[in-house]
Amino acid sequence: MNFHATVAVIGAGQAGLSAAYHLARRDFVSALGNPSASQGGEESSPGTFIVFDAEESAGGAWRHRQESLTMATVNGIFDLPGMEQSEIKKTTPAREAVPNYFSDYEAKMDLPIIRPVSVASVNEAGNGYRIELAAQSTSAGTNSPYAGSTWQVDAVINATGTWNNPNQPQYPGIEKFQGRQLHSKDYVRMEDFTSQRVAVVGGGISAVQQLAEVSDVAKQTYWYTRSKPFFRASFTAEEGGRQTIDKVTKHTEAGNAPRSIVSYTGLIFNQDAKRAHANSALNRRPIFQGLYENGIIEADGTQVEVDTIIWAIGFRPSLAHLDPLNLYNEKGGINIEGTKVKGKKNLHLIGYGPSQSTVGANRAGRDAVISIARDLKSGT
């Protein structure tokens, strides 16, 4: 099946929903049910748009967050444009509250979202792009009627985030270790580690959160980081906001691969850090040499037996579907200006670099739509 839309948004997390909202505000209409968006690829006027989402329901990566992450402990959730969050109890799990908010938002804004569909590839075609949707929508076998279809579009706003592309550990002997290994994205509840010897690897927010929890129930915890973590008592508005965004923007627009926000800001000595400290778990050890059958070989050669290793080592942008466009440069980054990919017509990345944060994602969605509307009108 072949379809046409003026603009395709890939991903329906915070950034994708923001972009969809601003497209609708600029009078782009749904490509679903619009005669000009039917099979055959006729030109559409006014402009049409469609949103592709790989999740089975609203919420993006929030649907998969750990059970203990509540609205009191999340790292800042900003309102989506045009609709404030309703009053939510601080004790409500984020994996429930945020998806519910997103679902209500999608319904209120009447956004044209196709799910669950996975974008297999994006190729340049004519004056725009050809988007191929995977034949099978999810690993569970759930399919959308649009699975396997092809969409010809004039512009692409990519908002796929990082959740589905966790960094993979590369250490000598990793294949020898006989205990359990999991990435922090697969962490669900602290009770799974009761009476175990657990190593947490990584120096970010997730590492501290999970270290704090696990240290309540584990027999022993070990915390390994590449560099010594920097804790702040708090952030000022400038330190946590504009100054950080400016630094990230400068780094990313220089063509460098994105870094974690924490690498710029440091960590707050918050309730999680205090909890880990109270459990004597916040004693950072230098990164290790490698692994052996029963555990870890530390930097000085000491062997430490552990039952489980939690790799809280972050994520990279989920951009495999854009590989046909050859976006990466010799630095391992992508040449962008604002949200726009340099050298590519009407291709925007949001939730990338400076727009990784929720407030940054909202702004990036708006900026991408303004740029696309202007360029489509001028024909550039």
CA atoms within 13 A on the CB side of 285: 20
Whole-structure pTM value:
0.91
Q: Domain 2-164+315-378, what fold?
A: FAD/NAD(P)-binding domain (3.50.50)
Ranges of the chain whose pLDDT falls below 70: 34-46, 75-77, 137-142, 235-241, 357-359, 380
* Residue with token string 């400038």: 238
Residues of the chain with CATH 3.50.50.60: 2-164+315-378, 180-230+266-311
CA distance 161 to 58: 15
pLDDT on residue 41: 44
pLDDT on residue 44: 45
In 3D space, the residue among 200, 188, 170 whose CA is nearest the CA of residue 304 turns out to be 200
CA distance 207 to 343: 38
- Which pair of tokens denotes residue 115? 């799910």
Q: Of 2.40.50.140, 1.10.3720.10, 3.50.50.60, 3.40.50.1110, which CATH number belongs to 180-230+266-311?
A: 3.50.50.60
- Which pair of tokens denotes residue 154? 């004039």
